[in-house]
Copies of this chain bind each other. A is one copy, B any other.
């Protein structure tokens, strides 16, 4: 990766930014891909930006030296999004963590990109409002916008594409632009907000987000429900969605994942395929929702559905759900959790998950299935010994089959993790010539290919 221009950029960054810039190898590696099966490809330096003007200056410097720029939030993405395969400078936005405005009366919040979802909810806790999008990790909101994150509440509240009203972005030319006003609706030109949401840092760096926030529901109730099989659980999900129950969370964990969560979070759930469900609304509404769901579950042979609106009990449950990744990892110490996701139209969910279950069983790998099944979105976690090339190859083959199976069912190779480095060939299989349009847009907005190069497409 040694490159004269990059070396000159590193020198210029050192001179310009002093202690806010580092070339320390440990820090560089921590800012590259530590949570995935992908090799760690560190940037040549890390800049800790503290305000938007620093981002503008950094981008202009990088443009001057033709040096790649890799934006970094909390580093929890899963497909190699923050690796630096062509070298360059990592721009760490975690210190831009100010909540700038809470417009409670408009149900919007304006934040810097380094604010995490938990920090925003902490700031909202006395307002009666909350921010619903919750991928497992306590990710930064800038990173969540960049990967079009979703998580457990998406079935009711949508994904980042639905809750971002407007973005402030530093373009590849170092210009500071705003994609839209703070109005709830707009028909003013191309929807650049949603072009930047999910663009994985390849079109610009987000320096401010205007987000929708929501009234905290009067009552939150939920519980877990064990099913005789993954197929039965998926069919319950399909019927729940088709019945129009406005469920706010409906999550599948297979038997092995439940076992892992029991061990990791010290719980005593029945070790069978299980749905975690949650309902938001008035007392009457959540009762109605829970009763209709209980009927559906019973019809599909589930054990009794016990639900509660005890907030401590629910919090423990969802903490266990959010720790599922680490719980799975603990199933096979010394291995790495290799997580992948796919999403299909809800009518194909049971078929797709069941075929995946059989595929995993046949492979003999240690692997769990879980996911945001109300959206037709599910994950696998494969426990892989990265030092064993045969295992890695086997894992890659499983992921390829899942992606192709989802695509064949009119679905997508990724519902929320994104393309990054890991899924470029499946994106091509899924969308074909459409990827050329994406490339043309990238070329138009970033002609020097400075912004997170080698992601989405190379």
Residues of chain A at the chain B interface (Cβ within 8 Å): 103-108, 147-148, 150, 154, 158-159, 161-162, 171, 175, 177-192, 194-195, 197-199, 215, 238, 241-242, 244, 282, 284-285, 288, 343-347, 372, 375-377, 406-407, 410-419, 423, 426-427, 430-435, 437-438, 440-441, 443-445, 456-457
Counting every copy of the chain, the complex holds 2
What 20 additional pairs, Cβ within 8 angstroms, besides A106-B347, A181-B412, A183-B345? A105-B238, A107-B346, A147-B187, A148-B186, A161-B194, A175-B433, A180-B412, A182-B345, A183-B377, A183-B411, A185-B343, A185-B412, A185-B416, A188-B431, A189-B427, A189-B438, A191-B194, A215-B244, A284-B285, A285-B285
Interchain CB contact under 8 A, B188 and A199: no
Contact of A195 among B104, B194, B406 (CB under 8 A): B194
27 A–B pairs (Cβ distance < 8 Å), ordered by A:
A105-B346, A107-B346, A108-B345, A154-B185, A161-B191, A175-B433, A177-B431, A177-B433, A177-B434, A177-B437, A181-B430, A182-B410, A182-B411, A183-B344, A183-B376, A183-B377, A183-B410, A183-B415, A184-B343, A185-B375, A185-B415, A185-B416, A187-B414, A190-B195, A191-B198, A194-B194, A285-B285
Interchain CB contact under 8 A, A456 and B183: no
What residues on B are CB-neighbors of A175 within 8 Å?
A: 433
Q: A177-B437, A195-B190, A441-B445 are in contact. Are A343 and B183 (CB under 8 A)?
A: yes
Interchain CB contact under 8 A, A185 and B105: no
Query: A284 CA to B104 CA in the complex, in Å?
Result: 28
Closest 9 CB pairs of A and B: A444-B444, A215-B244, A194-B194, A105-B347, A183-B343, A182-B410, A106-B345, A186-B412, A183-B411
Query: A63 CA to B375 CA in the complex, in Å?
Result: 41
Query: A179 CA to B104 CA in the complex, in Å?
Result: 35
Interchain CB contact under 8 A, B434 and A440: no
Most interface-central of A150, A187, A285, A347 (chain B CB within 10 A):
A187
Q: Shortest beta-carbon distance, A363 to chain B, in Å?
A: 24
Interchain CB contact under 8 A, A191 and B187: no
What residues on B are CB-neighbors of A238 within 8 Å?
A: 105
Interchain CB contact under 8 A, B159 and A162: no
What residues on B are CB-neighbors of A162 within 8 Å?
A: 158, 162
Interchain CB contact under 8 A, A178 and B377: no
What residues on B are CB-neighbors of A184 within 8 Å?
A: 343, 345-346, 375-377
Query: A195 CA to B375 CA in the complex, in Å?
Result: 22
Q: Shortest beta-carbon distance, A458 to chain B, in Å?
A: 13
Q: Shortest beta-carbon distance, A427 to chain B, in Å?
A: 5
Q: Shortest beta-carbon distance, A155 to chain B, in Å?
A: 9
Interchain CB contact under 8 A, A345 and B435: no
Name the residue of chain B whose CB is nearest to the CB of A161.
B191
What residues on B are CB-neighbors of A191 within 8 Å?
A: 148, 161, 191, 194-195, 197-198
Query: A199 CA to B189 CA in the complex, in Å?
Result: 7
Interchain CB contact under 8 A, A103 and B347: yes
Q: A238-B105, A412-B181 are in contact. Are A189 and B346 (CB under 8 A)?
A: no
Query: A411 CA to B181 CA in the complex, in Å?
Result: 5
What residues on B are CB-neighbors of A419 within 8 Å?
A: 187-189
Interchain CB contact under 8 A, A376 and B415: no
Name the residue of chain B whose CB is nearest to the CB of A105.
B347
Q: Shortest beta-carbon distance, A277 to chain B, in Å?
A: 18
Query: A426 CA to B171 CA in the complex, in Å?
Result: 23
Q: A190-B456, A195-B195 are in contact. Are A431 and B178 (CB under 8 A)?
A: yes
Query: A432 CA to B440 CA in the complex, in Å?
Result: 23
Interchain CB contact under 8 A, B417 and A187: yes
Q: A177-B433, A194-B195, A345-B182 are in contact. Are A188 and B412 (CB under 8 A)?
A: yes
What residues on B are CB-neighbors of A104 within 8 Å?
A: 242
What residues on B are CB-neighbors of A284 within 8 Å?
A: 284-285, 288
Name the residue of chain B whose CB is nearest to the CB of A444.
B444
Q: Shortest beta-carbon distance, A2 to chain B, in Å?
A: 32
Contact of A415 among B186, B199, B346 (CB under 8 A): B186
